[in-house]
């Protein structure tokens, strides 16, 4: 227990935000897969693979002190790429709903997935600016 508290003593709030944002990104991908895996036209597997792999990389980078400073970047890049690929996969559905060709409105699944992806993108972008580790003061260095 002492080792865990010693490890966490060197982390700042950005570390926790990075872990939470990475988990949120993974949950967004799981929800997207659960609803749209059987709909080939609306499913973007590259978005899922990109976001899950880069969110996992962020979690891995958050733990070593040497790489913790850069831990927020992969999930932010992954969220941006995933949102763009998600938009590319869903634009036809959005166009059909907007011109009321076939459907009365957006489905709850679409709204949930869209909100999760956008929140992951915004939170991961904000996380880049949070301090990840406590900086040690160099008292003797010039």
Domain ranges of the chain: 11-127
What band does 38 get if pLDDT is binned at 50, 70 and 90?
very high
Condensed to tens digits (0 to 9), the pLDDT of residues 8-34 reads 666 788 888 999 999 999 999 999 999
Checking if the pLDDT of 58 tops 60, the result is yes
In percent, the amount of the chain with pLDDT more than 90 equals: 53
Please, which residues have CB within 8 angstroms of residue 55's CB and are 6 or more apart in sequence? Answer: 21, 22, 23, 25, 26, 74, 75, 78
Query: Of 96 and 126, which is predicted with more confidence?
Result: 126
User: What is the overall mean pLDDT for the chain?
Assistant: 87
Verdict on whether the full-model pTM lies above 0.95: no
Q: 78-113: b or e for each residue (b if 16 or more CB lie within 10 Å)?
A: bbbbbbebbeebbeebeeebeeeeeeeeeeeebeeb
């Amino acid at each position: 227990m002492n080792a865990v508290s010693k490890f966490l003593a060197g982390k700042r709030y950005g570390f926790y935000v990075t872990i939470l944002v990475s988990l949120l990104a993974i949950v967004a991908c799981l929800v997207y897969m659960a609803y749209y895996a059987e709909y080939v036209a609306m499913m973007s597997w590259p978005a899922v693979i990109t976001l899950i792999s880069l969110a996992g990389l962020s979690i891995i980078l958050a733990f070593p002190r040497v790489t913790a400073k850069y831990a927020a970047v992969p999930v932010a890049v992954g969220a941006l790429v995933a949102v763009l690929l998600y938009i590319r996969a869903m634009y036809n559905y959005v166009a059909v709903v907007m011109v009321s060709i076939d459907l009365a409105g957006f489905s709850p699944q679409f709204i949930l997935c869209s909100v999760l992806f956008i929140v992951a993108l915004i939170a991961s972008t904000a996380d880049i600016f949070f301090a990840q580790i406590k900086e040690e003061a160099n008292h003797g260095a010039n």
